[in-house]
Structure 1
Amino acid sequence: MRFDVSSTALLSRLQSISKVIASKNSLPILDSFLFNLEGNKLTMTASDSETRLVTSVDVMNAQGSGVFAVSAKILLEPLKELPEQPLTFDINDDNLEIFIHFQNGKYNFIGQKGDTYPQQKPLGQNVVSILVDAQTLLNGISRSIFATADDELRPVMNGIYFDIHPDNLTFVASDGHKLVRLRNLSVKSSEKASFILPKKPANLLKAVLAKESEMVTIKFDDNNAYINCTNFEMVCRLIEGRFPNYNSVIPQNNPHKVIIDRLSFLNALKRVSVFSNPASSLVKLQLKENQMKVSAQDIDFSTAAEELIACQFTGVELSIGFKATYLIEILNNINSTEVVVELADPSRAGLIIPAENEENEDLLMLLMPMMLND
């Protein structure tokens, strides 16, 4: 086999799929990229046995065809240092000795047989398919992934729940303390269905989708999902199990509503939380007529801070405690200028929602309060 390929085109494709390769693999072949040459198209695969990413690059002057594997480390490290130029791959079909010729030199190493690389199982019964715009999918993953859990006892919480309805797609993530529900009304489906996308493939998709602009096809059965976009295909194992009924934990009647500038609130929290107890990261919000006092203290070190922020609030005075790190994360993942904080009482979850939703979106964030000691 022999072919020519652009060094930067090859490197950018390999880098984008290399993130799937685990540091310790059960099968040694998974430390390698799988290459498949057919005509003038070179298809490349990387996998960790749970998730695989496939992409391709156009090559020139191709001779022969076949499958071979190359250690990811051997290929990536030198390619990173090469300026843009054509590379010529020359592969001995008998012993898989590979020569890569470039402007000022050549690399030489032995490849591996591609036929030992794990094959991807096709989808089984009950396949559901939906079409999602790449940026819609990216937005849904980016704004919910921070709320996923790392819980060995409840694996269903360790991913993003895709709740598919005929007139919307809802992204949900929760770790039991915070919850994100992002409903997108532009995605339509012929049926009701759902799946839980694990955190690793979700993060890989984030990186891949940033460069995509077309529609993405998601096909899934009970165990696996195939996600196809213009330049990539991802196949991943889904988390099995039932996601909890997230709507039941969202409090409906919240008499206290605060409208506040998001950045003023966020920056005050960042400053005040420095003075909170590092173990609890507790901040106290005290609401009075059109004013919020954000305060924190660490009794062990005799440090304390408080700031006043103007807001729109009328009603009974109220104090509630939240974990500052969680509240900061939530505010970082909302884009609107102002947010609405809806509260019932100091022991019930607070809702944080954008004052103005983006087009076709309905975003809600929920945060459980912390007990105040006073």
Structure 2
Amino acid sequence: MKFSMERAALLKAVSQAQSVVERRNTIPILANVLIEAEGDTIQFRATDLDIEVVDKGPGMVEKAGATTVAAVTLHEIIRKLPDGALVTLSDDTMSGRLTVEAGRSNFTLATLPKEDFPVMASSEYASNFSAPAPVLRRLFDKSKFAISTEETRYYLNGVYMHVAEADGGRVLRCVATDGHRLARIDADLPAGAEAMPGVIVPRKTVGELRKLLDDDEMQIAVSVSETKVRFATPEITLTSKVIDGTFPDYSRVIPSGNTRRLEVDASDFAKAVDRVATVSSERSRAVKLALEEDRLILSVNAPDNGSAEEELAVAYDDEPLEIGFNAKYLLEIASQVDRENAVFLFNSAADPTLMREGNDTSAVYVVMPMRV
């Protein structure tokens, strides 16, 4: 195998691959990227047995062939080469080495046989549809902060993507929760997604998917089966196993009877929470919200560190209320608001609080209070 590729295109392809491979693994081949050169296309494939990414790029192929090489090492080499360099990769099957040449730089890397590289079995997908990149980006970006990191509740370690009923008809919905906060984001249902099975997309896959969604003009082809999900652009295909588990009935924890309405400038609120939380204890991160007519007082009282208080002008005309929250949870939810105002709906100091962006119900957040 021998081919040449422009550094920028090569770096983009290799960086996508090296982020998937596991740094610490007991199977050496999983640290490698499979490079396949044929025609005028170079294909880079990497997997950790749960996720597989395939990235294609244009190249000048002198000799078709395939080999595998350490993904992280190759990425570091390409990253450190000068911009605009033409990089030539050639492998010697006799010596089991891959040579990387660019200008006066020359590297030789060990390879492993391509036959040992595990390729994820293709799946029969029950549902195939396409969605604009900005739509998928919004669904996953606004929900992923609530993914649980608790391994024992593995079914919460991802984003639940499914078709749901909403006031305006059926929608494509993403939900994530860790038991303390919940995010539920809706988008118009794409044509062809009507029969899609509900799947839990793992946290790592959500992170890798984000790299495919930066181009606002891009249409993403989505394929879903009971066990796998695939997201594809013309250049990159990301295939992942889904979490084998049942996502809990999240609708039961979304309050419907909260009537105490607070409207506040989302940016001002987030900055105020961040400021007063500076003195909160690392363990509890508790911040208290005291509500009176058109007035909100944020306060923190940490005996070891000190105290802080800040007042905000808000729209509120209900009974006075004092309620406490984890500052980190409030900040993460407030940072999701794209519109100017955030609307909080309270019931009591012990009940879950609902938050949304103005009157938009397509993005709904729930946060549990804490005692302060």
- Counterparts of 1:315 and 1:58, CA distance in 2: 63
Give the 3 Å change call, closer, same or farther, for CA 268–334 of structure 1 in structure 2.
Answer: same
Q: Percent identity?
A: 25
What SS does the aligned partner of 2:143 have? Answer: helix
- Counterparts of 2:303 and 2:240, CA distance in 1: 48
Determine if contact 1:5/1:86 at 8 Å carries over to the other structure.
yes
Q: Which piece of structure 1 moves more, 308-317 or 219-228?
A: 219-228
- Counterparts of 2:271 and 2:3, CA distance in 1: 55
Match of 1:7 in 2: 7
Letter in 1 for 2:159: I
Match of 2:89 in 1: 89
Match of 1:174 in 2: 177
What's the offset of the Cα at 1:364? 0.5
- Counterparts of 1:212 and 1:67, CA distance in 2: 33
Determine if contact 2:126/2:196 at 8 Å carries over to the other structure.
no
Spell out the pairing of 1:1-374 with structure 2 (5 A cutoff): 1-60=1-60, 62-83=61-82, 84-124=84-124, 127-165=126-164, 167-185=170-188, 187-188=190-191, 189-191=193-195, 193-211=197-215, 213-301=217-305, 303-357=306-360, 362-372=362-372
Q: TM-score, normalised by structure 1?
A: 0.93
What SS does the aligned partner of 1:150 have? Answer: coil
Determine if contact 1:272/1:307 at 8 Å carries over to the other structure.
yes
Letter in 2 for 1:163: H
Letter in 2 for 1:49: L
Flag structure 1 segments of 5+ consecutive residues without an equivalent: none
Give the 3 Å change call, closer, same or farther, for CA 294–74 of structure 1 in structure 2.
Answer: closer
- Counterparts of 2:194 and 2:256, CA distance in 1: 29
What's the offset of the Cα at 1:322? 0.8
Determine if contact 1:99/1:109 at 8 Å carries over to the other structure.
yes
Letter in 2 for 1:131: S
- Counterparts of 1:7 and 1:224, CA distance in 2: 33
What SS does the aligned partner of 2:317 have? Answer: coil
- Counterparts of 2:64 and 2:23, CA distance in 1: 30
Number of residue pairs the alignment of both structures matches: 366
Determine if contact 1:212/1:230 at 8 Å carries over to the other structure.
no
What's the offset of the Cα at 1:186? 5.2
Flag structure 2 segments of 5+ consecutive residues without an equivalent: none
Post-superposition Cα deviations, 1:103-160, rounded to whole Å, max 9, x if no partner, equal: 2243233422111000211114x62223221121122111111100012221111100
Letter in 2 for 1:364: V
Give the 3 Å change call, closer, same or farther, for CA 277–96 of structure 1 in structure 2.
Answer: closer
Give the 3 Å change call, closer, same or farther, for CA 212–287 of structure 1 in structure 2.
Answer: closer
- Counterparts of 1:315 and 1:101, CA distance in 2: 71
- Counterparts of 2:148 and 2:72, CA distance in 1: 31
Give the 3 Å change call, closer, same or farther, for CA 274–78 of structure 1 in structure 2.
Answer: same
Q: Which piece of structure 1 moves more, 213-222 or 344-353?
A: 213-222
- Counterparts of 2:291 and 2:35, CA distance in 1: 61
Determine if contact 1:67/1:115 at 8 Å carries over to the other structure.
no
Post-superposition Cα deviations, 1:298-322, rounded to whole Å, max 9, x if no partner, equal: 1244x21211111111121111111
- Counterparts of 2:98 and 2:152, CA distance in 1: 47
RMSD, matched Cα = 1.8
Post-superposition Cα deviations, 1:245-284, rounded to whole Å, max 9, x if no partner, equal: 1111111011200111111111111111123233211111
Q: TM-score, normalised by structure 2?
A: 0.93
- Counterparts of 1:4 and 1:277, CA distance in 2: 56
Determine if contact 1:159/1:239 at 8 Å carries over to the other structure.
yes
Letter in 2 for 1:39: G
What SS does the aligned partner of 2:212 have? Answer: helix
